[in-house]
Amino acid sequence: MVTKKATYWIIGIAVTGLAFYYLFRNKMSKTQRQIVFQAEAEADKWRGYTENDPAVGNIINQYWCDGLGYCSFTNSQVVEDGFNDEYPWSAAFVSWVMKASGADSFPADASHSNYIIETTINREVDPKSDFTAWALGEQKPEPSDIVCANRGGSNATYGNVVSGMPLHCDIVTKVNSDTIEVVGGNINNRVERKTLNLNSDGFLSHDKYFTIIKNNA
């Protein structure tokens, strides 16, 4: 017969075990935490500005120079009308956040398509790589992951991305019960937050999105 004391002892172990399960399940690495912090900080920094404001010239230039090594642009050049049509900076933004956060293994590129291709190859060659691309129904989003969508009439699907396709990717900053919160660059001509839908199983289910890049760094 199980005594009341033994019952409390068993319950205590179960509760402690459950607490440790959730603690370690949701534990983020230093790099992952920094990515979320950096993305959120950039979204806050852009409040009240758009890409043609002279005040953000140094910020956009930093994305290009520090994120990708493209250091030939001037601060005044990157805010000129038409410059950001020729040089869209959303992939530069993602690349900068990753590099600034210490994710040196991220395959930074000026084109979302190219780093999606690289991380898809990572998944095939070594699924334990720091960054691997998956179909939406294969992996659930977590903070610091990257989610990617078609843009400008492109029709990419997982495993069917061609270099140079017009795509867009966002950084996941928070996961809720039925939505995720993301931060992306060059959204409405600024760094901006968005909310995307999850399905009942917790997978991303939002128009135009087709792949998720898992971050294990």
The helix/strand/coil state of 215 is: strand
How much is the pLDDT for 27? 85
Q: Where are the domains of the chain?
A: 29-215
Residue keyed to tokens 């690289």 = 118
Order the strands of the 209-215 sheet from edge to edge.
Answer: 131-135, 209-215, 146-150, 167-175, 179-187, 190-197
User: Taking the CA atoms of the chain, what radius of gyration do you get in angstroms?
Assistant: 20
Q: How far is C-alpha 8 from the geometric centre of its chain's CA atoms?
A: 44
How much is the pLDDT for 121? 98
d(Cα 73, Cα 106) in Å, to the nearest integer?
23
For each of the chain's 217 residues, which pLDDT tens digit applies?
555 454 444 444 444 443 333 334 458 999 999 999 999 999 999 999 999 999 999 999 999 999 999 999 999 999 999 999 999 999 999 999 999 999 999 999 999 999 999 999 999 999 999 999 999 999 999 999 999 999 999 999 999 999 999 999 999 999 999 999 999 999 999 999 999 999 999 999 999 999 999 999 9
The helix/strand/coil state of 150 is: strand
How much is the pLDDT for 1? 53
Q: Which DSSP category does 6 fall into?
A: H
The helix/strand/coil state of 62 is: helix
